[in-house]
Amino acid sequence: MSSHILIVDDDPQIRSVLRIALKQAGMQISEAGDGAEGLAKARSGRFDLVVLDIGLPEMDGLEVCRALRAGDQTPVLFLTARDDEIDRVLGFELGGTTMSPNRSRRVNLLRGSRRSSSAAADTLTR
């Protein structure tokens, strides 16, 4: 069974790149374009990993992660164009893994997926 990944990013091009890379790795993908939609989808479905942008409209990624952590331990992989150390520290404290500013690099995403979700790792290494 393939891993189910939720991509939450307000940039349709970033979502497209991530969707293509993750589907090529055999994963099932769901998407959301803002924080509120992402939180609603995360709460209504079962995901092996949430790939979450920090700078989102409606509700930023840190707020989404905080809300998810109140009742769920699904791994969260933060993607960010921000290079502020405070964002990385907050992301780690909330239980996420913060990616480098280069959000579209497939190899970094797949490595992060492996570290963040054992189910994703199983899918990626087959």
DSSP 51: E
How many C-beta atoms surround the C-beta of residue 54 within 10 A?
25
Domain that holds residue 101: 9-105
Most confident of 3-7, 21-25, 116-120: 3-7
The answer to whether position 71 is within a domain reads yes
Q: Structurally, how many domains does the chain consist of?
A: 1
The answer to whether position 114 is within a domain reads no
What's 47's domain CATH number? 3.40.50.2300
pLDDT in tens, 66-100: 899 888 788 888 876 655 665 555 555 555 655 54
The answer to whether position 28 is within a domain reads yes
pLDDT of 35 above 80: yes
The answer to whether position 27 is within a domain reads yes
The answer to whether position 93 is within a domain reads yes
Q: What is the pLDDT of residue 79?
A: 78
The answer to whether position 94 is within a domain reads yes
Contact 59, 85 (CB under 8 A): no
Query: What's the pTM?
Result: 0.74
The answer to whether position 113 is within a domain reads no
pLDDT of 120 above 80: no
